[in-house]
Structure 1
């Protein structure tokens, strides 16, 4: 039996090493789509290979945005007037708070330094939402700074995201938004309202509607992605965007039957998780061998 187990271990190790290598090149992304019956589903895919999508389950509601809360690593969702927690294993959304009169189609992202949610709408609405009690604060409007290439134009955001999405307040954070009308990445240095600055054009031509934007921070490095809906809402693309220049690069089509709404990124499992998985698989192998021997 010991010889059989020794033959089993290299195979398991090779499998996990291959899986880990694949996942190290990408992040785990969550999004929202609808099935053939029109029910909203939570899905998962890799940021490096968005064509392979796993359906996790129905949310039971109609969320318009999702994001991970850095303070708890829990996924939250928003549907226009209610805040939910979302189970990443089943997709089920559970009501946290009835927020009330806030914008529906908005950028939705957690500010990691103060544990508040930023809600920014295409019509210029700008809110802060407290995940502890559901209270909201109305903030000021954004305007392009004098001398900016877009000075005098009215900004319109449908997606925003913060950098340094971690639990270390010393790292600080910066809010970015994507303006689909201008086709540009915008830096929002004063999220509570005030002057904003154009980082640069996305440079990808016509891209449909921006439906999700998130920035993931791993090892102090911020990496940004956004999603779009094209072809009448039946398909979506995933783009990576350079926070220094605004230039966007197509990663690929997202393999969902319908378009993707919302985007939330999380790192791949830590090495300790792979070790735990390995020990579990080895245990299963030993049990299987013992049963055969019996």
Structure 2
């Protein structure tokens, strides 16, 4: 994986690359460790030791890739900005900046258009830093159209590629679980309008970034589960779609997109376990229960047919490397035919399609016997 990360960090990013490529992502944990993974399988990680070069007790609270140089930058609770060498796992102090950080969680992101860093906080703080010398420009406090607490714990610019002439700032509010978009920013206020609800209840520990191809990714702590969940976030309506759980039980405080990796052309693996012969009265009443294991995230669809006609279906999005029991209920015609028949053969077709579009199909025959 290290060779792949190096290639991604130094490669020139472009748009228009097929969706079959997984996005390479980097995160930083709450104990200053870098972790590298891709959007296709967040459980497979390359975890590093704590970054060397920080001051004793200093904690990273902001993390992003600078599009102009492809370098990783980190902000800390001591008002320092560091350049991170992702391969050597070291931090080099750039300089200390002002104003003093106000808040507990922060959004931190580069604008490729201006080569400036935007910092937002859960206290409503908003300012920008020039990348070259960290000269600051403070804007007015964050305000939400329609009201609400301006707790912005994640920030990301669109147009995240070298030469971008247009970018928009998006932010995650961990208090109302919504995605917002900047409307105006000046000394009187940093004003955001709501795009829509994420659809999940997130905690304050947030990572958020928009890749060069325009897809947005979030690293959220959801509900009472302390682990980090990786999501794709729609910039159209705010809806978050789960891609999987980050491996290692890690707690991310920052996330950045590194670029598109090599095309994923490998079909997802799936294991199906189901009894080949079942009692007709049980099948008619309870339907089919299928135990499934998949090797990566994707859409799962199951279809049951009797004599060529569909009698039942089920579908859902499955996490990477997950095991589950899928229930397929039959329609009224299917239940009646199963009860009447003395030797009924149900054709089961299960399809799993991963996030890159690769597909695997498994077929089974289930016999319904009298009883």
Q: Quickly name the TM-score band, shorter chain normalised.
A: 0.7 to 0.9
- The CA distance in 2 between the partners of 1:43 and 1:191, in whole Å, is 33
- Kept in 2, the 8 Å contact 1:24–1:268? The answer is no
Q: TM-score, normalised by structure 1?
A: 0.74
CA contact under 8 A between 2:126 and 2:190: conserved in structure 1? no
Report the structure, 1 or 2, having the larger strand content. 2
Q: CA deviation at 1:260?
A: 1.5
Please state whether the residue corresponding to 2:219 is helix, strand or coil: strand
Tell me the equivalent position of 2:115.
Answer: 115
Q: Tell me the TM-score normalized by structure 2.
A: 0.59
Aligned residue number for residue 174 of structure 2: 180
The reply to whether residue 227 of structure 1 matches residue 219 of structure 2 is: yes
For 2:185 and 2:215, how far apart are their aligned partners in 1? 20
Matched, 1:259 2:251: yes
CA deviation map 1:249-286 (0-9, x unaligned): 11111002431120011113579xxxxxxxxxxxxxxx
Q: Give 1:28's aligned residue.
A: 24
Report what 1:209 is aligned to: 204
Contact persistence 2:227–2:245 (CA under 8 A)? yes
- Which structure carries more relative contact order (alpha carbon 8 Å, separation 6+)? 1
Task: Specify which of 198, 201, 218 is matched with residue 194 of structure 2.
Answer: 198
1:236 aligns with 2:228: yes
- Aligned CA-pair RMSD: 2.1
Matched position secondary structure for 2:152: coil
Q: Residue 256 of structure 1: SS of its match in structure 2?
A: helix
- Separation of aligned partners in 2, 1:138 and 1:267: 30
* Paired positions, count: 235
Report what 2:74 is aligned to.
77
Q: Distance in 2 between matches of 1:165 and 1:270?
A: 19
- Give the secondary structure class of the aligned counterpart of 2:231: strand
Distance 2:109 2:256 in 1: 9
Structure 1 residue ranges (4+ consecutive) displaced by more than 4 angstroms after TM superposition = 230-234
Runs (5+) with no aligned partner, structure 2: 1-18, 264-371
SS at match of 1:27: strand
Offset of residue 134 of structure 1: 2.0
Counterpart of 1:55? 47
Cross-structure match for 1:64: 61
The 10-residue stretch of structure 1 (160-169 or 101-110) with the greater mean CA deviation from structure 2: 101-110
Q: Which entry has the higher C-alpha Rg, 1 or 2?
A: 2
**Shift in Å at residue 191 of structure 1?**
4.1
Name 1:143's counterpart in structure 2.
Answer: 143
2:61/2:253 contact within 8 Å kept? yes
Aligned-partner SS, 1:120: strand
Contact 2:125 2:142 in 1 (8 A): no
Aligned to 1:8: none
Which has the larger share of helix? 1
Q: Distance in 2 between matches of 1:243 and 1:231?
A: 22
Where 1:182 maps in the other structure, the secondary structure is coil
Which residue of 156, 163, 182 maps to 1:161?
156
Change (3 A) 1:55 1:190: same
